[in-house]
Structure 1
Amino acid sequence: MRFVLASASPARLSVLRSAGIDPVVRVSGVDEDAVAAGLTDPAPAELVTALARAKAEAVAREATDTGESVVVGCDSMLLMGDGEVVGKPGTAEVAARRWAANAGGTGHLHTGHGVLRLRDGEVVARADGHLSTAVHFGTPSPEELDAYVATGEPLQVAGGFTLEGFGGWFIEGVDGDPSGVLGISLPLTRSLLAEVGVAVTSLWRRTG
């Protein structure tokens, strides 16, 4: 049984490897704006789940493998304290502005997962879900914020922050699943795998 990660995220790959899975990485190339445009005023949970599902479906459509595999798509967005839902900042200016707005407050990171089970390239089972984790932001000084943005790290991650990198210095705590904040929730993924009839332990790398 192959585990296919439909994401280019180094953080998601690292989480899985640390948890005993060596996935095959296949990037979906999904047009996220087009998927979002097809939804009518979606709630954050609906949006991230739809995007995760679309990524998994896109990778599954290109599958040519024989045998069995599971494809896992993921997406995350931050619901800021002011009610704005944001993804990756993309530019230093946007990252700095969002950090200034979040400093000292709490945001909610919504993470969606889509799981497909394939047999000889055909989808035989589907499951999807989401979770939300509260993130408590610290208040970096202007000099610290400038230095953080200058690393480039926050530009290409949902919400403009990380727990496992430079951003961890400025996150005071999380309420919920920390792995969800890293981009792939291990408990949620285990549950969704079970829904499609796959035990997560069967995917662990063999030791000894």
Structure 2
Amino acid sequence: MGIPQFVLASASPARKRLLQSIGIEPTVCASNFDESQVQSRDPVLLVQVLAQRKAERVSPKFDSALVMGCDSVLAVNGQIHGKPANPQEAILRWQEMRGNIGDLLTGHVLIDTSKNRMLVKCQITKVYFANVSDREIEAYAATGEPLNCAGAFALEGKGSVLVEKIDGCHSNVIGLSLPLLRHMLADLGYGVTGFWN
């Protein structure tokens, strides 16, 4: 059986680049789902429901496709953080995060529209933040990079120098766990190498 079209229900350039790095050229179809409709104090439930809503919004547009929805948050000291609204919020967030450990959670949903099957998973990676100075925090916020990222940092960008180490899946912190995706594809009867032809 051939590999269906792969649809990314996200406008995230980082997620698209991750897929391209493993030989998947996705069709990008942003869900434009209003994330404020979903509220939960449980970060695992939150990212899974948000990822599912995004995938479900896009999947009816495709008859035979694998539709991937993702959503990421950072949990630090029991607080759930998405993207900061402005540089000031990014600075305050970093002042709380520095020298601390956070959990970066990404919900992954894969819908096979031809088989009417859906998988819902969550990957968690521990992030150890450097004990950076106020000056470094302000300089990082001024770059604008943290405004586009759950947790106010980009591991694939300037934010990488502000992270001491991670424990778990590296690509998960960027927005999509590639090892988890390989397992999800296998569970639906596909091999990731099928995209390489």
TM-score (norm 1): 0.89
Q: Any gaps of 5 or more consecutive residues in structure 2?
A: none
The CA deviation at 1:42 is: 4.5
What is the match of residue 47 of structure 1?
46
Is 1:92 the counterpart of 2:91? The answer is: no
What is the match of residue 27 of structure 2?
24
RMSD: 1.3
What is the match of residue 178 of structure 1?
170
Per-residue deviation, residues 61-104 of structure 1 (Å, max 9, x unmatched):
233xx5x3100000000011x21011111211111101000101
TM-score (norm 2): 0.94
What is the match of residue 67 of structure 2?
71
SS in 2 for 1:160: coil
Q: Is the 8 A contact 1:115 1:192 kept in 2?
A: yes
Deviates more, 1:137-146 or 1:152-161: 137-146
Count of residues paired in the alignment = 194
Distance, in Å, in 2 between the alignment partners of 1:72 and 1:42 is: 24
SS in 1 for 2:55: helix
Aligned AA (2:84): P
Distance, in Å, in 2 between the alignment partners of 1:141 and 1:34 is: 36
Is 1:112 the counterpart of 2:104? The answer is: no
Q: Any gaps of 5 or more consecutive residues in structure 1?
A: none
Distance, in Å, in 2 between the alignment partners of 1:137 and 1:153 is: 16
Q: Is the 8 A contact 1:3 1:203 kept in 2?
A: no
What is the match of residue 189 of structure 1?
181
The CA deviation at 1:5 is: 0.7
Distance, in Å, in 1 between the alignment partners of 2:128 and 2:191 is: 33
The CA deviation at 1:200 is: 1.6
Distance, in Å, in 2 between the alignment partners of 1:20 and 1:189 is: 13
